[in-house]
Amino acid sequence: MTIANIEKNQDDLTMIVTVEYDASVDRVWQLWEDPRKLERWWGPPTYPATFVDFDLKPGGDVNYYMTSPEGERLWGWWQFISIDAPKTLEFRDGFSDGDGVHKPDMPTTTVVVSLTERGTGGTVMTITSRWSSLAQMSEMMDMGMEEGMRSALSQIDELLA
């Protein structure tokens, strides 16, 4: 894996992560469409994810939790906005409680994942995270989103080997 770039833009309220993998677009796409594969890399290694519900279709919902080193479950949700397999995926990502109830006082991120074939073989994955306010973006950065993303993405090479 090569993280080619992480760009945070407070004017656009975005964080864009660009990663290159030595695998086909189809193989990288499988890491997003299969919840069992997502569990192996979504979230930092010390906070493994468990996907409880996973409905991969526009309007489909996802409920998941990450388990802290102390055993605490930190719940989250996704709602898919659009899917163009195996090229793009757009979803909203937020925090919830154990019953799947969204926490409106916590930030919500809109995420767009784009997979493109690299000219020399392999795949370029671009993950664009967007917020509705600078306060939400800052809160996510303060929670360690950039570091967590780096750590999570570093687990993908082993899955593609």
Domains of the chain: 2-49+81-92+106-160 (3.30.530.20)
**4 has a pLDDT exceeding 90:** no
**Residue type at 114?**
S
Please give the Cα distance from 9 to 15 (Å, whole number): 6
Residue 16 in contact with residue 125, Cβ under 8 Å? Answer: no
**2 has a pLDDT exceeding 80:** no
**Residue type at 32?**
W
Residue 96 in contact with residue 77, Cβ under 8 Å? Answer: yes
**1 has a pLDDT exceeding 80:** no
Using one digit for the tens of pLDDT, what is the confidence trace for 28-69? Answer: 999 999 999 999 999 889 999 999 999 999 999 999 999 999
Q: Taking Cα atoms as reference points, which of 51, 52, 62 lies closest to residue 90?
A: 62
Using one digit for the tens of pLDDT, what is the confidence trace for 98-132? Answer: 888 999 999 999 999 999 999 878 999 999 999 99
Please give the Cα distance from 25 to 124 (Å, whole number): 8
Cβ-based neighbour number of residue 131 at 10 Å: 21
Residue 138 in contact with residue 34, Cβ under 8 Å? Answer: no
Where b means 16+ CB within 10 Å and e means fewer, 106-124 reads ebbbbbbbebeeeeeebbb
The burial class, CB within 10 Å (0-12 / 13-18 / 19+), for 23 is buried
Does this model's pTM top 0.85? My answer is yes
**9 has a pLDDT exceeding 80:** yes
